[in-house]
Amino acid sequence: MQVSLLSNTAEAERIIASCGKFFYSDKSILNIFDELTEENIKKIVFDLIRSENYSVLNHVTYTFSIEEVSAIALKELALCEYLALSKREEKNVSIDSENDFVISERIKEDERLFDLYQDFVKKSFDLYNTFIGLGVSREEALYVLPSAKSENIVITMTASQLFKFFSVKCCKKAGREIRKLAWQIFRECVKVSPVIFENAGPACFLQRKCPYGDFKCFSRMKKVWAEEEK
């Protein structure tokens, strides 16, 4: 899996701080935008996020290219209202080889499971090619392939959506693939907007809330946080 930040709203932190201050000021948004200092920006953004006022975060967006992610993970990503362009939507979609699939870490770790999985994928791929040879369109032939088929997509999220995404999918309870994706996106966001995402991440750490209603794994989350934050 590879995540690349394609673009993000310029002056994102200044925009959010300006919108936050605009609610309580008689000045125009343009004056506020020009007058804010870096110190003001950091304080306003911090206060907005601490009070969970995420509505202002909808004014900035981040667009990512994600390569080699499974359709399984995409279903979980859909919870964040993502926008995506997938190979599945191309008219002349093709599959390069039976190796073009995402394999879970659990299956990789067990030789017996790995062999069974490879055999299943090969049979599915052979059936896919058979259907193509019988005149079935490539789009319809995709239905015989496992949902672990690797996809390359482009997604765009607002900062608000990203906060919600990180709070749930950076958690240890999330599946390995979607958690890995969430942390890679998180690190890209921190690089370009450190003030905004300074207080983003798993809900248990930042808000003392558990989206799954279970704090039993909180001590284990400390290790996950320490490893992933690097």
For 199-222, write each residue's pLDDT tens digit.
888 877 766 777 777 666 666 666
User: In 10 A of CB 151, how many CB atoms?
Assistant: 19
Residue 166 to residue 181: CA distance in whole angstroms: 10
Average of per-residue pLDDT across 160-189 = 89
For residue 165, how many C-alpha atoms fall within 13 Å in the half-sphere facing its CB? 29
Query: Does the structure show a pLDDT above 50 at 116?
Result: yes
What are the angstrom distances between the C-alpha of 127 and each of 18, 121, 148, 184?
57, 10, 16, 35
* CATH 3.30.1360.170-classified regions of the chain: 2-65+152-228
Longest dimension (CA), the chain: 70
* Residue 88 pLDDT: 46
User: What is residue 3's three-state secondary structure?
Assistant: strand
CATH 1.10.760 assigned to domain 106-148? The reply is: no
Q: Work out the average pLDDT over 143-162.
A: 85
pLDDT-above-90 percentage for the chain: 27
The span from the first CA to the last CA of the chain, in angstroms, equals 18
CATH code linked to domain 2-65+152-228: 3.30.1360.170
Instruction: List, in order, residues 6 or more apart from 110 with CB less than 8 Å away.
Output: none
Q: What are the start and end residues of each CATH 1.20.5 domain in the chain?
A: 106-148
The secondary structure element, H or E, covering residue 99 is: none
Q: Which candidate, 93, 75, 48, 100, places its Cα nearest to that of 177?
A: 75
Hunting for tokens 């979609």 — which residue is that? 93
Average pLDDT estimate for 94-110: 73
Residue 84 reports pLDDT greater than 60: no
Assigned token pair, 114? 């790995």
Q: What are phi and psi of 214, to 5 degrees?
A: -145, 115
Residue range 12-21, pLDDT digits in tens: 999 999 988 8
User: How far is the C-alpha of 22 from the C-alpha of 2, rounded, in Å?
Assistant: 38
Inform me whether the pLDDT recorded for 96 exceeds 60: no
Q: Judge whether 16 and 57 are in contact, CB under 8 Å.
A: yes
C-alpha torsion sign, points 81, 84, 9, 45:
positive
Mean of pLDDT over the chain: 81
Share of the chain above pLDDT 70, in %: 82
Q: Where are the alpha helices (DSSP H) in the chain?
A: 12-22, 29-35, 38-50, 71-77, 105-109, 111-133, 138-141, 159-169, 176-192, 194-197, 203-206, 218-228
Q: What pTM value is reported for the model?
A: 0.79
Encoded tokens for 126: 């052979």
How far apart CA 156 and CA 64 sit, in angstroms, is 6
